[in-house]
Structure 1
């Protein structure tokens, strides 16, 4: 390859790793994303950095973990001195373009990219039925008018399947009969309940307070509205989720067709991924905001529809742990641009080319400011930091003395994460190994104090609730 390629980063929102027909899911059809797999390599040990939109996207934009970016939840604010991928590419001679959802609070996308489409009002959480089609049309206009003299970087942020959240919001204020009662669909047309619908209730305090209790910190109104759901309601949620994925797959198909029609496909590298997943009934959960597999494991494909860019074709990589922090350095590697100092990610280019290189042996994930997870080849370890007695707004860690409750799952014997082994003394050494990895990882992070009022307010409010629950726990 004699010249730098075009680079296309296509991303979807709330898309779990296994919600693809290429990954063997029989309940939906994704022919266009499947085509990316046939023309590239799919990393099936791919994890987001944090299971919520803004946080995960801040890692894409910076190559840093969310406790470093200033965006550990949707109400965060990117630290102003951190460079983003658009700024770095523009400085390195690439024309950096953005289209669709951005959702990195604290950074004006129009100042870092040439924006093809971002809505008259900035694209927020929902509205895929309008925004996604508009984004595809904007990309079509760009590709058909591109003169091909200089390489481009284009990131397309599709909203779907995030609109499954809007389906859930409909249940906040009223009881809606199940779809069979309404005559919408027959029961045999619905996917079954997930095998891990039932769950081990020994969860972290953070998870219970954020997602389980009646006055949960996150989406309590939805939680209240679905308390009386029957099996068909949950199965219909899954049915709807798969339809939203099929809709966005069709949008992606239009973009891929345009690449071929304009003959840009031979010299365009394509990266496909998602910011986080969707629980979709697993552990009787909805949406994301958790460290369970369905919420944190995401698709990650590197592909080229032509032959000018060497990429392994039609291969699953089930060995290497890939993270959201790897997007930035991967793009820079293909672009031939040096990455900023202190970047946490690593380019997956050598893996995509089939080269044997040293690689991390775990994934590290954060959640809801205090939550942490380590995923190894066999185990997943989930824990939490207790909130500080006096909050200093410096993201917690590394501090083993402040660990709260824990979960440990055997990924081989219990892939659905339904049996918490953390209280079994036989696994003490496994827990120690996972804790050592977590603390070592966190010792290499570059955290700084939150100074923006929005995240400080959330940390204060959530911290007060968590401290009150911990006081109860300490009395038990």
Structure 2
């Protein structure tokens, strides 16, 4: 069988529920809805370590977090993995290209891609005055380099006055064609123009949005500014102490205290999503016009979600659905997966580590023995199937450090510094409004999930488990010793 072209559409900080096809009452995503109608969407997809670097390590290596060694967020740690998605596809005969975000170290580490058009967004660690010239984001990042050529040496994405982790929102200040979302599509289209037509291609279109800054063009803000938006989810277990303390800090880990600022954050976030959707639409239309769509496999996902003021929280790294549940769908042209049950929804628990084996097997390649993920292609023909009974997730996050076990129906959370536990019956309570950790009827189930977590952590270097009991308060650095192993 002819090797399919592969398009991996990667987004940044996109919640699993903020899509039209996922049933969101406010967000409009017509092009992604169309892809879902032609493919299989996974409504129990997760990022097991939900922040940019660790999530991308899982994507590029197919490993679970204790094996790739990144269990939190830490910049400037070298990436030295032997087997990566791009290198394996290149070995299988593919011409490989990434456009947009990589977020690896060093910045120009290609991870096996033949070519990278790089834009990592605003990276504090690559912009400080002490960073050597060639390692500066203004030099190494292709979008920033291009933007300064187009608009002058002072042009920057920070000209809006919005930080890259802020809940503040305002429209893009330049012409739309200069927006980083448009740039990723423009450069992806240019790749399709200059690709080697004798080879199948692997294109990773890696968009920065809807990660803050929430700065979509004015047109997209106007779509939402007068709508009565669904408010954030707040349950019966939240503590408002941190919100009261930090709710006026623009880049805090809580949402804002001000109700109007909460709505503005929603407007900006949704605006970025619809803008992103329209730019993805340009890419899909190009595949059709160039008569490539019928021979192309498309996988769409994100690195993690965004709390967006749910439970008085903002950003990611938390164990809750807004942070760790991600969109995930597979669609294909008629010559690629003829047995796919179009428009179906799969409830299997899947994770970013599953991307690599899925795409490698679609390409006819071999899966390295370092890969922990599963091939999801059989679920296209049988969406009622499953690949794992449960998934272990985690994130080193200071006092908010956490571990969790999630299944198709429920979730157990252990806060590793305090030892606090939570339990949510997701099948009845998908927005985690009611913590049932003290519900006697759930005691046996909680014990079982706790035991799974104790087993997962047994041989870890932090000493958080003896295999039977969980041990709180242990040091929990964001990077394990094996992260930089050759």
Cα contact 2:61–2:83 (8 A) shared by 1: yes
Question: What whole-Å deviation, never above 9, does each CA across 1:366-400 have from its counterpart, x for those lacking one?
Answer: 222642111123211111334xxxxxxxxxxxxxx
Is 1:61 the equivalent of 2:89?
no
* Counterpart position of 1:385: 416
Cα contact 1:190–1:235 (8 A) shared by 2: no
* Counterpart position of 2:431: 416
Cα contact 1:267–1:309 (8 A) shared by 2: no
Cα RMSD for the two superposed structures: 3.4
Is 1:222 the equivalent of 2:221?
no
**Residue in structure 2 matching 1:361, options 361, 379, 389:** 389
**SS at structure 1 position matched to 2:356:** helix
* Counterpart position of 1:332: 360
1:363 CA drift (Å): 2.7
1:201 CA drift (Å): 3.0
Is 1:10 the equivalent of 2:9?
yes
**Residue in structure 1 matching 2:194, options 138, 145, 153:** 145
Cα contact 1:62–1:85 (8 A) shared by 2: yes
Q: Structure 2 vs 1, CA of residues 327 and 185 (structure 1 numbering), >3 Å: closer, same or farther?
A: closer
1:58 CA drift (Å): 1.0
Q: Structure 2 vs 1, CA of residues 109 and 53 (structure 1 numbering), >3 Å: closer, same or farther?
A: same
What is the 5 A alignment of 1:62-211? 62-76=61-75, 77=77, 80-105=80-105, 108-110=108-110, 112-119=112-119, 120-122=139-141, 130-164=179-213, 189-194=227-232, 196-201=233-238
**SS at structure 1 position matched to 2:8:** strand
**SS at structure 2 position matched to 1:343:** coil
* Counterpart position of 1:172: none
**SS at structure 2 position matched to 1:99:** strand
| Alpha-carbon distance in structure 2 between the residues aligned to 1:162 and 1:322 | 22
How many pairs were matched up?
410
Is 1:372 the equivalent of 2:403?
yes
Cα contact 2:254–2:314 (8 A) shared by 1: no
Cα contact 1:109–1:115 (8 A) shared by 2: no
Question: What whole-Å deviation, never above 9, does each CA across 1:29-75 have from its counterpart, x for those lacking one?
Answer: 11111111122110111111222111111110111123332322331
| Alpha-carbon distance in structure 1 between the residues aligned to 2:359 and 2:305 | 22
| Alpha-carbon distance in structure 2 between the residues aligned to 1:101 and 1:185 | 27
| Alpha-carbon distance in structure 2 between the residues aligned to 1:201 and 1:419 | 10
Cα contact 1:9–1:154 (8 A) shared by 2: yes
Q: Structure 2 vs 1, CA of residues 316 and 363 (structure 1 numbering), >3 Å: closer, same or farther?
A: farther
TM normalised by structure 1 equals 0.77
1:358 CA drift (Å): 5.7
Question: What whole-Å deviation, never above 9, does each CA across 1:92-136 have from its counterpart, x for those lacking one?
Answer: 332221111111345743352122411454379689963222221
| Alpha-carbon distance in structure 2 between the residues aligned to 1:215 and 1:438 | 31
| Alpha-carbon distance in structure 1 between the residues aligned to 2:374 and 2:197 | 29
Q: Structure 2 vs 1, CA of residues 102 and 431 (structure 1 numbering), >3 Å: closer, same or farther?
A: same
Structure 2 unaligned segments of length 5 or more: list them. 120-138, 145-163, 166-171, 217-221, 464-474, 480-486
Structure 1 unaligned segments of length 5 or more: list them. 168-183, 387-402, 450-457, 463-476
Q: Structure 1 or 2: larger helix share?
A: 1
